[in-house]
Chains A and B, each alone.
Chain A
Amino acid sequence: MKRQDRTRFSAILLITGALLGGAGPVTAQEPAPPAPDPQGPPPKAESRDARRPCDGCPARRVGWSFLQTTGINVVYELGNLARGQVTAHISPKSWWANMQQGMVWDLDDFTVNQIGHPYQGSNYFDSGRANGLNFYESAALTAFGSSTWEFFGETNHASLNDFINTTLGGITLGEMLHRTAWLIRNTQATGKRRLWSEIGATAVDPITGLNRFTSGDASRVTDKPPEFVPSSLGAVASAGVLWRGSQSSAFNAAGDPFLEVDAYYGDTNTGRSRTPYDAFWMRMRFGGGSSFSEARVRGRLYGQPIAHGLQFSVIQTYNYQNNDAYSTGSQAIDAALGTTRPLSSRTNFWILGWGGLTVLGAVDSLPLGVTEKPEEKEPSAGQGVSEGPRFYDYGPGSDFGALARLARDGRDVALFFYVGRQIYSLDGVRANHFLQHTRVDLLFPLRGRFGVGTSAEYFHRRSYYQDAARTTQTFHYPQLRAYLTWRHQ
């Protein structure tokens, strides 16, 4: 690099730092707070309450939320250092090098990028929520935490995919975990019952939990903030056996056990909503071919009833799937249109269609001519340094889908689900990936909360390679399940 260029670039960075860090001249011009008037009304007994929108709400502490977000980065950094990661040996020199380099794509493991980073982002997000920031303010804080981690938390160059995954995934998972923790927390209880409810909530949302313990909120008896009391709540847990098919549609005789949990927070199907995530749906599946095979979160950002019983919604989604046809993870924003129609006094039919943009999606892929992913070698550059090759692609794309549900006496009896996802690879093997998943569930009530169910699924993947021959590759397989369900409503 030329000396002149270096000097000029350095000057820009220095001024940037001064601009972001220094507010001295302006702060000095802020009017001083008025002196207390001896004739005026007496000051409030608890000035802290002025920062709480409601008795059970956390106090609003914006500066503290930024400090905590930086503290979370320090904790992750120290964790990496303790694990002996080479990338944790940060210094002002590595910060400078990262700022000069700018953003790149990284070569990390699929699970680290698609689950680890969104989880780390959820910590940033929840440091905002725990300190009284609203959803959108906490979203901005997540971007702040994510970008500072990328430039200053590791010696690795700042990663574009991490920045997007940590920020968008962190927002989705963060709000979902924050609201789930508020369901566990019993703010009216005292003694051991209260303590255990706070500990349980802390396990789900550690940052809010720690804030509550340190501020004393964990022992204050108050009402729950109304924002975190859902209009309705439901969950279905399914445990059973899953039989996977193959490319030739033949099924494996031996099934894989699985556990799947669906949670319905609020009513995503109706109502005018301006409160993000006042309604969301979450699915997690363990087992069935891999230890953690599916995670989906769909949180409503906006809801508006329109004409003819139709409901319009804007939905933020987090998606992670690991199956024999594809491993994929993505962050997307969808627009959805749905309607609920009564078929009889006891039977309802709900249908929803959606389409949207995938900001960043990841999908596993192998270069043409390679049929199996090779064994990963020990990194020669040191622990924590990903040297590649990376066997998945990154890119933006689109998604669309439909969901139909038939319910009798408030219980689902039949479900149809279809989702199509297109990912245009920008980094990795050059291809356009089209992934489809169709699923039909039939559910029968047994006694009380219990029932049985059976599902048929079909996974289909087609990759359009951008080689000279315009090669396409298709992979598909069916899947069947039988399971016992337990329903909470």
Chain B
Amino acid sequence: MEERIAIIGGGIAGLETASQLSKKGFDVVVLEKKQITGGHVEQWHQVFPDFRDASEVLKNWNQHEISGQIKIGIDITNINKTNGLFQIELRDGEQITANAVVIASGFDLFDAHKKEEYGYGIYDNVITSAELESFFNRKREYLIKSGKTPQRIGIIHCVGSRDEKVGNPYCSKVCCITGVKQAIELKEIYPQAEVFCFYMDLRMFGLNYEDIYKEAQEKYGIQFIRGRLSETSELQDGTVLLKVEDTLAGKPLKLSVDLVVLLVGMVKGSVNNELKKWLGIELDLFGFIKPPDAILQPNVTNVPGVFLAGACSSPKNIGDTVNDARSAVLAVEKYFNHLKG
């Protein structure tokens, strides 16, 4: 009998897990809450570090390779584990039975409204990095409310990350490189504009990230100012006045920009609390799912038969996520081999 694996989440972690499990002969069913798969990557335009199109990345997962179903528009109402079998109840009444569950529910983006002083949702020309990607993808019609070509753009790092005041003291890892990437993309569209990145520390941890940073400075003239944004205000012409501390000069600095982009961090997936309630898995202090051994067994939870893949356990970039999904597949395989004896 074919073992059936339910994969909660149809983002790249879920898709890679499903694809690899299928190749190994398992029957998989992917449960995705939205109407399309691809998770957050589906909404991005170009991805770092090589600026390839996100749509190219997603082509990697051809639906036909995945033996089993991809169900979209799913709303899970309960999961029960009885006699080693998982019963997943859906809102429309359907029941799905599985021998194992892989949680690939990913992350949510920080709600920038919480940083009141940044004026998100109050001033017209303050947007998030996700909204900027939508603009690059032509899904958002304008960048500046008045339609004018921006002369100055400010990108703010660490919005909702490394910030005790909003309850997220951790680093979201990928926002810094996203900021540099978006700065370069903005300069390609508006070569005459000045782009500023306001950072605390620049986390260029990955392959080629430091080179991208250097290219951003050298080739594109993007200016990096180390210091936090304290507040935004709106001037009469709709431009946004920023007040930052220029730590390198040791003085406060104020400048007006046409657009502010907030690099919002990653927060726990909205479904994590319910998964804990249904399955008894553990969450860490910030709501991410916690494996008992995050270093050597990052995909195994405290509940036998329940596995993790992707950013549901911690912030990850695409490469990390794909690796993590493959590692989850090995963990699932090991689990069933062990069961068989």
Are A and B part of the same complex?
A: no
Give residues in B with beta carbon < 8 Å to A. Answer: none
